[in-house]
Amino acid sequence: MCGIVGYVGKQAACGILLEGLKRLEYRGYDSAGLAIGAKDGLDVIKKVGRVENLIRAAAGVKETAHTGIAHTRWATHGRVTDINAHPHVSSDHKFALCHNGVIENYLAIKKFCENHGYTFQSETDTEALVNLIAYHYQKEPEAAGKNRFLTAVRKALLHVEGTYGIVALCADYPGEIVGARKGSPLVVGVGNGENMIASDISAFIGRTQNVIYLDDGQVVHLTAEDFDITTIADEAVDPVIAKVDWEIEQAELGHFTHYMAKEIFEQPVALENAIRGRFSDDQSTAKFGGLNIDPLQLRHVDRLLFCACGTAWHACLVAEYLIERFARIPVEVEYASEFRYRNAPLDKNTLVIVISQSGETIDTLEALREAKRKGFRTLAITNVVGSTIARETDGGIYQHAGPEIGVASTKAFTSQILLTAMMALYFGRLRDLSFTEGREMVEALRLVPGLTSQVLDQADKIKVIAKKYAQFEDFLFLGRQAMFPIALEGALKLKEISYIHAEGYPAAEMKHGPIALVSPECPSVFFAPRGEVLKKVISNIQEIRARKGPVICITSAPRDELPEDLANDIIRVPDAHEAVQPILFTIPIQLLAYYIACERNCDVDKPRNLAKSVTVE
């Protein structure tokens, strides 16, 4: 989950690395560090805290050095200290290493290195690997036609169990970088007279749009003028250079204070991009270009299994309601982290669908691989074209949401819901959803971007409501049917960025336990869409009000269908087709969580203990 960036070229490396780290800070912000390679050795600086601390500390770094690696950390092994920050240096000072992932056998490697005279300063697993590289380097004799640095890294990795994305420097090879990946993303940026490597393309998108996504088990050797990719077993790899389809301006804050706010207000555009070109000519169904499964095969699917983590898991729950409602296909939803370790019995005609914004979520990736090992067809919904999940799945749907930098997902979540609603339409039309019903759904889906803008127009009103409730320390979020996953998502958003304890429940389950929490100090947020369960939700709200619990009601019902004193505060969203209601009801909870967090002076884009892309188990 850490951010890695490396540069080799003709320009001063330090400034380029620091700029890359600033763009990667959403991946981890416990500490940061860099190592510069020069003819007189390695220059290493590490600081606890945000990248700004490192920038101040690096003011005196040599501007003549043209090669370096840098890292922003989300701590796994070891406390948050300067010593535990990356890059780590071998005890002979020959190597510097940045690492994302977990080395599971690091204790055995550490003991081996100690027995051969290498010493340790940190509490991390990474230091074991950098010393193991140093050991193999010292052991490896000079040989004609062989790069001793590259060979040492490759031999060390043969002994590693676990996951890694690494970049390394060697004091004896000042103009070279070696990188490798297994389970943790790395992408090469191919430039003109310079090359870069990073855990995310945002680190170098302003310098090049030509990228190579490394696969597991691959090693890359970079110089300013060239690159070479091989496997750990030293087999040649023919690289595929892809073109990034977004500009650096899309990852800039613009006039917004936080990325989260920017991405909330980008949702109409993101949703428009998700549906563009994805409806049939007769406007009766959806169409997807990358499924790689023909309609006849899909007709034989008896069950869908969705796997995801966090916010994407909530999108899967919405998919369950929508697909079962409109396509009449049984749907199961699994936490990706649990699916891999369960021996769940699945019908042979099950289609496995994974959802991941980054396409690199390690638990979701491993769930995908487990499904493929068992012979199931797989699809993915992801926002990153060249991500590992996008490359390993049988087919997929690209979100087109643009880069999402804020740790708390917003536009990616609503985009995922919209695409699953389109899947419900698509599968429904393959079965028994009529032409007329299909046309009605298409029309409703086309209206989503505009309806979302209408909800966003209420931001100032929601900000006032947020200020009123910002001092509370407990919240309940309650909804029924497809609003239950939105209740879960609302609670998660509030927890993530404001550190307020919040729980999401089906509204009818409140009286089976959670109602014990209701008091004047515990507000409840209710989702009350117009429809068959509206009266039931109103009854649930009145149970809360009878016990003096403050209520915020988000509703699409007309005023004459609600009691006058139903709630302390009411947020209205447009009445719409039930397939798109979950999207419209999501926007207010995003704004509510955002404004509450701002009122509490929380670091919205970098909430404590969290990172954007979870690439370690």
pLDDT of residue 152: 94
Among the listed residues 22, 47, 495, 612, the single catalytic one is 612
Q: What pLDDT does 161 receive?
A: 94
pLDDT band at 430 (very low <50, low <70, confident <90, very high): very high
Give the per-residue pLDDT at 249: 59
Determine the pLDDT at residue 184.
87
Task: Name the superfamily (CATH) of residues 447-603.
Answer: Glucose-6-phosphate isomerase like protein; domain 1 (3.40.50.10490)
> Which one from 2, 14, 170, 307 is the annotated catalytic residue?
2
More confident residue, 343 or 271: 271
Q: Distance between CA 400 and CA 392 in Å, rounded?
A: 19
Residues 6+ apart with CB under 8 A from 99: 2, 4, 71, 86, 88, 125, 126, 129, 164, 165, 166
pLDDT per residue over 518-543, tens digit each?
899 999 999 999 988 899 999 999 99
Between CA 284 and CA 274 the distance in angstroms is 17
Query: Which fold, 251-270+281-430?
Result: Rossmann fold (3.40.50)
Predicted local confidence at residue 76, as pLDDT: 76
Higher pLDDT, 60 or 451: 451
pLDDT of 614 higher than 80: no
Q: Is 537 helix (H, G, I), strand (E, B) or coil?
A: helix
pLDDT at 225: 93
Helix, strand, coil shares of the chain, percent, nearest 5, are: 40, 20, 40
Q: Residue 502's pLDDT is what?
A: 96
CA distance 17 to 2: 15
146 has catalytic annotation: no
Residue 405 pLDDT: 87
482 vs 321: CA distance, rounded Å: 6
Residue 144 above 60 pLDDT?
A: no
pLDDT-derived band at 98, boundaries 50, 70, 90: very high
Q: What is the mean pLDDT of residues 565-570?
A: 93
pLDDT, residue 58, reads 83
User: What integer best gives the mean pLDDT of the chain?
Assistant: 91
Do 251-270+281-430 and 447-603 come out as alike in CATH topology?
Answer: yes
pTM, whole model, 2 decimals?
0.87
The pLDDT of residue 247 is above 70: no
pLDDT bin (cut points 50, 70, 90) of residue 62 is low
Average pLDDT over residues 243-270: 84
Distance (Å, whole) CA 491 – CA 498: 11
Q: CA-to-CA distance for 447 and 580, rounded, in angstroms?
A: 9
Predicted local distance difference test score (pLDDT) of residue 9:
94
Domain coordinates in residue numbering, the chain: 3-244, 251-270+281-430, 447-603
What's the pLDDT at 328?
Answer: 95
HSE at residue 343, side-chain half, CA atoms within 13 A, is 0
Q: Tell me, yes or no, if 522 is annotated catalytic.
A: no
pLDDT at position 561 is 87
Per-residue confidence band for 616, with pLDDT thresholds at 50, 70 and 90? low
| Highest CATH level, class, for 3-244 | alpha beta
User: How far from chain centre, in Å, is Cα 546?
Assistant: 41
Q: Is the pLDDT of residue 592 over 60?
A: yes
Q: How far is CA 509 from CA 476, 477, 513, 541, in A?
A: 12, 12, 7, 12
Average pLDDT value for residue range 72-79: 80
Pairing assessment for the beta strands 227-231 and 569-572 based on DSSP bridges? unpaired
Q: For residue range 188-239, what is the model confidence (pLDDT) as tens digits? A: 999 999 999 998 888 888 888 899 999 999 999 999 999 999 999 999 999 8
| pLDDT interval class at 464 (50, 70, 90) | very high
| Model pLDDT, residue 258 | 93
- Using one digit for the tens of pLDDT, what is the confidence trace for 347-372? 889 999 999 999 988 899 999 999 99
Query: Which residues make Cβ contacts (< 8 Å) with residue 571, sequence separation at least 6?
Result: 458, 461, 462, 465, 552, 553, 554, 555, 588
pLDDT of residue 615: 58
**In the structure, what pLDDT confidence band is assigned to residue 340 with cuts at 50, 70 and 90?**
confident
